[in-house]
Amino acid sequence: MGGANEFNFEDTESEVTAGSSSGEPMAALELRSVDLQSAKNNQEHHTQEMGLQRLIVRRSQSFTIQLHFNRPFHPKKDSITFVAETGPAPKELLGTRATFLLTQARQGNGWSASDFTVQANSLFVSLFTPPSAVIGPYSLKMEISQDPSHSTTHPLGTFILLFNPWSAEDDVYLPSETLLQEYIMMDYGFVYKGHERFITPWPWNYGQFEEDIIDICFEILNKSLYFLKNPSKDYSQRNDVVYICRVVSAMINSNDDSGVLQGNWGEDYSRGVSPLEWTGSVAILRQWAARGGQPVKYGQCWVFAAVMCTVMRCLGVPTRVVSNFRSAHNSDANLTIDTYYDQHAEMLPTQKRDKIWNFHVWNECWMIRKDLPPGYNGWQVLDPTPQQTSSGLFRCGPASVKAIREGEVHLPYDTPFVYAEVNADEVVWLLKDGQAQEILAHNTSSIGKEISTKMVGSDQRQNITSSYKYPEGSPEERSVFMKASQKMLGVRGTSSPFLDLLGSGGAVGQPAQLQLHLTRKPEWGQDVLLRLHARRVADRAHPQGPIHLVVGFCAQTLLHNGGTREPLWRQKVHLTLDFGEDIQWPLSLPYNNYRNKLTDEKLIRVSGIAKVEETGKSMLVLKDISLEPPHLSIEVSERAEVGKALRVHVSLTNTLSVALSHCTMVLEGSGLINGQISNDLGTLVAGHTIEIQVDLYPIKAGPRQLQVLVSSNEIKEIKGYKDIFVAAARAP
């Protein structure tokens, strides 16, 4: 809904003056034109990046408009009333219509028009919107009356009202300009992916200030089930950031509604775009809007969270993207995730929905929680990935990060689910003939690792694990876990079917220590070389003499959701271990075994189960391996300036031992490129380098980021980025 910056009323003059008596000493006040002063107001309201052509302001902050009349305004004779309306059926009772008189001084915190100045035939008026105002597109009208029996109404134009994190009165107030620059104004960033031991920064173009994105954000709200069911009630609740967050969290996925993205955790993306091939939110949001609200194919957690970050920053809510490594999906809320191996060291699929994802990505939004007891303001978890329902819809949050840290899982919304994502225990079982044989491991600290977000004002990663939980193994951490367990499990206890086995203590006092190490850096296209390090240690069950181990190894593709595929490779090793002995046993996983078997994430889990012949007990050893893709180089030769050609050099050397076929390159970057630039690069032979030169014409000044994605049949995600500072255009 766009609004013109200036309206001219010359054409309506006769209509306005009709009915005024020529006997009156003063001519009727007639509006000739209006200037909403969009450029100046948008600058003052930190919305100038969204454009200067239409008025976009933040609540709880004044903005000035200029009205031009046929004669000077006389405060004692002329009465002016303003009317602001939003939504399908505006009503004062619902907070979607406001009527307010022009007064000299502002009173209270409601809608007001005041602090006016008269300059010849112009009137400058300061309009103020309350901190509790409904956000969204508004129309603004003015009624002029000189006596109670006669008034004229004039449309003044439209404006968009957003949350205001710069205002101490607003529920999203964030009292730090540095943080506001990062969590509202920054239109690019990083999503952290991969594995806790090899975390990869994934550049992302949020693009919340691209011209049409704000309209698409309100379109998202207007496609929600709440709006479709009761539009007036939905609009009336749009003053509440908690409500908006819950609506957006449900609308980013398409499980219940015409949401933005359709999830796909399989391997077939032929009917859409692989989640790995998106480099930003803008293309996704534009495609959703252009197709009338048809869900875009496809998303996974980092895509859902990155798109939600775009929408929330655009609406004025400080937001960041957070990655949790080894993230539990604990659907039965028993705070325990069970994983299973057979005696050949193969990780087995489970019928249960419980899983440990390699990583999971969600959002944090900053707000005051008036619906909670004191002490739970600040960062709140919101998760738009459809994992389970909350009040009937696939969404999650807002859950207070402070409540998660303190184990206050009874506080809304969805706090038990998020608590389990970062705190559940992992129990690893050995299965034989479908029956639980023994516990191989009971890990109380293997879930919720390296919780990460982009560092403020930097391209570095910030570890924020300590804001979610006390240090692992500390007395505070265990006491919070016990408190949360009692609240979540109550009298029914844990629902793990093997509780008796678990109570027996599991894997304690083993007669050997086993570790798997990489012999060299693992690169895609080469054999993976490992070594098993085995050492005899004293234990109660077998304190003396040598022991004999039969170690079965298995390598499997590790999926993003924590599951695995059928084995790629197996090996069996017989070892005799005595005290004082260290054995280093080499292992080799050939490239041919995995070349066509890995997912796009290029992760392999090597597991080994060692059976001690003397005791009949088993031990588990694990190693997760991430295969390195080739690296992109991006260089910019000269100073970047708005509107001036900027040459970018991109080079890629195929360091693999195989060719990369059907290579394509996509460049994106808000403020640098309008949309995307795509190039087909053909086949890149092993050992060869491809060099591409592209001329960009930067559109906006300030810090920008160029994202580059090279995709091939063999490797879907070779990503790179370049931070570029763009200078304003020089005066001619």
DSSP for residue 558: B
**End-to-end Cα, the chain, rounded Å:** 35
CB-CB neighbours of 632 under 10 Å: 18
DSSP assignment of 77-118: T-EEEEEEE-SSS--GGGTSEEEEEB-SS--TTS-EEEEEEE
Cβ neighbours around 195 below 10 Å, total:
21
Q: Hey, which residues does 79 pair with through a beta bridge?
A: 145
Q: Residue 516: which H helix or E strand, with range?
A: strand 512-518
Q: Which two tokens stand for residue 706?
A: 């160029």
User: The tokens of 290 are what?
Assistant: 């252009």
Closest listed residue to residue 502, CA positions, set 432, 436, 433: 436
What are the structure tokens assigned to 429, written together? 């079982």
Tell me, yes or no, if 301 is annotated catalytic. yes
Contact 113, 64 (CB under 8 A): no
Nearest residue to 129 via CA among 37, 59, 63: 59
8 A C-beta contact, residue 132 and residue 239: yes
Strand, coil or helix: 289? helix
Q: Which two tokens stand for residue 140?
A: 């603004």
Cα separation, 348 vs 444, whole angstroms? 21
What DSSP string runs through 631-683? -EEEEE-S-EETTS-EEEEEEEE--SSSPEEEEEEEEE-TTT-SSEEEEEEEE
Q: Residue 317 to residues 96, 228, 229, 328: CA-CA distances in angstroms?
A: 21, 24, 25, 27
Catalytic residue among 171, 240, 257, 383: 383
Write the DSSP string, 428-469.
Answer: EEEEETTEEEEEEEEESSSSSEEEEEEPTTSSSEEE-HHHHS
What's phi and psi for 2, nearest 5 deg?
-95, 150
Catalytic residue (choose from 170, 217, 257, 301): 301
Contact 158, 169 (CB under 8 A): no
Q: What is d(CA 210, CA 192) in angstroms, rounded to the nearest whole number? A: 24
Which one is catalytic: 360, 442, 542, 560?
A: 360
| Catalytic status, residue 360 | yes
CA angle, corner 165, sides to 160 and 168, nearest 5?
115
Specify whether the CB–CB gap between 311 and 214 falls below 8 A: no
Q: List the one residue out of 178, 153, 6 whose CA is nearest residue 85.
A: 153
CA 552 distance to own-chain centroid? 41
- What 8-state DSSP symbol labels residue 491? G
**Side chain identity at residue 612, one-letter code:** V
Report how far residue 589's alpha carbon sits from residue 400's, in angstroms, rounded to the nearest whole number. 45
Between the alpha carbon of residue 176 and those of residues 66, 173, 354, 445, 611, the distances in Å are 32, 9, 40, 34, 58
Residues forming the active site = 301, 360, 383
